[in-house]
Amino acid sequence: MDHISISGWLRLRLRALVITAAIGALAGPASGLEQYLAVPLGSHGGTYSWGLAINNRGDIVGTAATSTGGNRAFLYSGGTMRLLGGPPSVTRSFAVSISDNGYITGEYADSQDWDRAFLHDGSSFIDLGTLGGPWSRGRGVNTSGEVAGTSRTALDPNSRAFLFRDGTMINLGTLGGYFSTGQGINGKGEVTGSAGTPNGGVRAFVYRDGVMADLGTLGGERSVGIAINERGEITGYSDTATPPPFPTPPPYGSEHAFLHSGGLMRDLGTLGGLYSHGFAINAHGQVVGKSQTAEGAMRGFLYTDGAMHDLNALVVSGLAGTSLTDAYGINDTGQIVANSCGRSDPYDCTAFRLEPIATPLAVEYYHTAYAHYFMTSSVTEIVGLDEGRPIGWTRTGQTFRTYPSDTPGTSNVCRFWTDQAFAPKSSHFYTPFDWECAIVSRNRDWAYEGQVFAMKLSDSAGRCEGATIPLYRLYNDGMGGAPNHRFTTSASLRLEMIAQGWIPEGAGLGVIGCVPAP
C-alpha cells in the first residue's frame, strides 16, 4: 500500500489505551447560542499571560510573564507561545494587535523606560518612532502594515492619534480639543479612537479619507472608539444620559459598550451592572468586551444577535474553575481570546482561546500513571474528563481542529473500542481510512463506535493542500506493556516522540491526514 503502511498496532493486535468510564451528559446554554471549549494558552515561564487580539488564522498576541521577570509580548500560534524578541535590553513589551497576514503592533519600553510603538512583520522588529515626543504606542494594525496608535508630540504634552503609513507617522489631529488617541484600524486604513472637543468633552471618532468625524455619545459627555471592522462598524464605550451614582464607583461609572453602525450609536447594555466596555468587533458585527454584573463582578461578554451574554455561561469546559473577566478579540470564525484576571492585580491573568464547538476541536489528555495519551473531539467526553471522570486524565495543552463528519472533500474518522485486552484497561482506535476501518471491523474484540469527526487525506508524500496542516500519528510500539497512539500537528513534538522510541505511521513523515489550520 503506497499511501500508508498498515499500523504496527494492527499487525501485533495491540491496542491504544484511553477512557474506561462513561462520561456524564452535557448541560449547555440556551438554544441557538454558540458554545465554546476553552483552551488555556499557558505562559512563557512566568505565572501569567494576557491575550489581547486574535486574527482569522486563530493566532493570538498579548503579553506574558517570563521566568526572569517582566512582561514580554508574545505570539501564540500552532499551539505554541513564543516571545517576539526585540532590542536586547527590552524587559517590558505588549503586543496589542495582529493582522490576518501576521503583522503585529504594540509597544516596548526603551532604555529610558518610555513606551515605543513597534511593528513586527514576522521576522523584523521595527521601531515606529514618535511624533517628536518621548513616547508612542501601537494599538491597531492591518494587512498593509499600517498602524494606528498614540504618541506625544515635540511641543505639546498632550497625546495625538497617529496613522503609520508608508514609513511615516501621520498626526491625525483632534476634534478641536487638546488631545486624541488612536485605537483600531481596518483594511481600508480607517482609524477609530477618541479625541478632545473645544468644550472639553471627549468623543469617539472615525478617521476616514483624511477627515476625523465625531461619532457622538450615548447621551453623556464622553465616548471612546476601540475597534473597527471592514464594514466601518465601530465598538467602544460611552457615558450614558443617566448620571452615575455619587460618588462614582471606580473606575468606570455608567459607561456602556456601544456598536456604531449606519451612522447610529447603539447602547449594548450591561450584564446587570453599571458599566461595560466593547473591545473588539468581527465582520459579522459580533462584539466582545467586559461588563460589570449585578453582583459587582467583572465578566467577559459576547454581544450577538441583539443581546449581551456572559461568556462564562457559554463555555462548557476548560476554564478549570476560573471566570473570564474580559474578552479582547473575536475573529470572523467566532474564535475569541479572553482572560481570567485577578481583582487585586488586573495584570494577574490567564489567557484562553475559546473554540466554537460548531467546529470540532480535538483535545489531548495524558494519564501519568499509565504514561498514555488520549484525544477526543466529543464535547461530552471533554466535559467529563475536565471534571475528573474518570480520574487520572489531565490536558496536555495540545489541541487540533477537525472537520464535522460528512464534510464534502473529507474522510470520516472511524472510532473503535475494546475492553478485551490489557484489562483492566480499555482502548480506542481512530482511522480515516476505509480499508483500515474494515480490518478492525472484522476483529470481534473491537466494538465500532461510529464516525466521530473528519479530516482530509494527504497525498502519498504526506503533503496537505489548502488551509490545512499535517496531522501526525505515532505509535509507542507497545512500550511499558500497553500500546498507545499519539496524534499531533506539531512537527517539533513529533521529533520529540520519535526520540523517545515512538514510531511514525502514515504517509511521508507519518501524516495520517490533514486538518484545518488553527
pTM (2 d.p.) = 0.77
**pLDDT for res 307:** 92
- Phi, psi at residue 147, to the nearest 5°? -125, 135
Please say if the pLDDT value at position 421 is more than 80: no
- Phi, psi at residue 492, to the nearest 5°? -70, -40
Tell me how far apart the 2 most distant CA atoms of the chain are, in Å: 83
Query: For a pLDDT cut of 90, what percent of the chain falls above it?
Result: 65
For the chain, give the mean pLDDT: 87
Owner of C-alpha cell 499551539: 79
Spacing of C-alpha 166 from chain mean position: 30
Q: Please give the helix or strand (H or E) that residue 405 lies within, else none.
A: none
The closest of 180, 181, 263, 172 to 209, measured between CA atoms, is 172
What cell numbers appear for 219 in the block? 447621551
Helix H segments across 7-103?
8-11
Cis peptide, bond prior to residue 29, ω within 30 of zero: no
Extents of the domains making up the chain: 8-25+360-516
pLDDT band at 89 (very low <50, low <70, confident <90, very high): low
- Residue range 30-44: mean pLDDT, rounded: 78
Instruction: State the first-to-last Cα distance of the chain, in angstroms, to the nearest integer.
Output: 31
Q: Which of 119-123, 150-154, 400-404 has the highest mean pLDDT?
A: 150-154
Buried b (16+ CB within 10 A) or exposed e, 319-336: beebebbbbbbbbebbbb
* Rounded distance between C-alpha atoms, residue 310 and residue 323, angstroms: 10
315-317 and 36-40 beta bridge pairing: parallel
What cell numbers appear for 38 in the block? 476553552
**pLDDT for res 347:** 64
Sign, CA torsion 381/382/388/391: positive
Please say if the pLDDT value at position 5 is more than 50: no
Please say if the pLDDT value at position 463 is more than 70: yes
DSSP 71-82: EEEEEEETTEEE
What cell numbers appear for 153 in the block? 508630540
Whether 334 contacts 302, CB under 8 Å: no
Helix H segments across 277-332?
none
Tens digit of pLDDT for each residue in 116-135?
A: 999 998 888 899 999 999 99
- Residue range 230-241: mean pLDDT, rounded: 96
pLDDT band at 426 (very low <50, low <70, confident <90, very high): low
* Rounded distance between C-alpha atoms, residue 430 and residue 448, angstroms: 10
pLDDT band at 215 (very low <50, low <70, confident <90, very high): very high
Tens digit of pLDDT for each residue in 481-508?
A: 777 899 999 999 999 999 999 999 999 9
Q: Say how many C-beta atoms besides its own lie within 10 A of residue 252's C-beta.
A: 20
Sheet of 326-330: strands edge to edge? 315-317, 36-40, 349-356, 336-341, 326-330
pLDDT band at 115 (very low <50, low <70, confident <90, very high): very high
**pLDDT for res 248:** 56
Tens digit of pLDDT for each residue in 313-361?
A: 999 899 988 999 999 999 999 999 999 987 556 568 899 999 998 778 8
Please say if the pLDDT value at position 251 is more than 90: no
Instruction: Tell me how long the chain is.
Output: 518
pLDDT band at 16 (very low <50, low <70, confident <90, very high): very low
Whether 104 contacts 52, CB under 8 Å: no
Owner of C-alpha cell 500500546: 483
**pLDDT for res 287:** 98
Tens digit of pLDDT for each residue in 20-33?
A: 322 222 333 333 57
**pLDDT for res 425:** 65
**pLDDT for res 249:** 54
Bridge partners for 222 per DSSP: 202
In Å, what is the CA distance from 307 to each residue of 33, 218, 258, 291, 301?
Answer: 11, 17, 12, 13, 10
**pLDDT for res 30:** 37
pLDDT band at 310 (very low <50, low <70, confident <90, very high): very high
Whether 96 contacts 61, CB under 8 Å: yes
Whether 115 contacts 107, CB under 8 Å: yes
Whether 426 contacts 18, CB under 8 Å: yes
Whether 134 contacts 116, CB under 8 Å: no
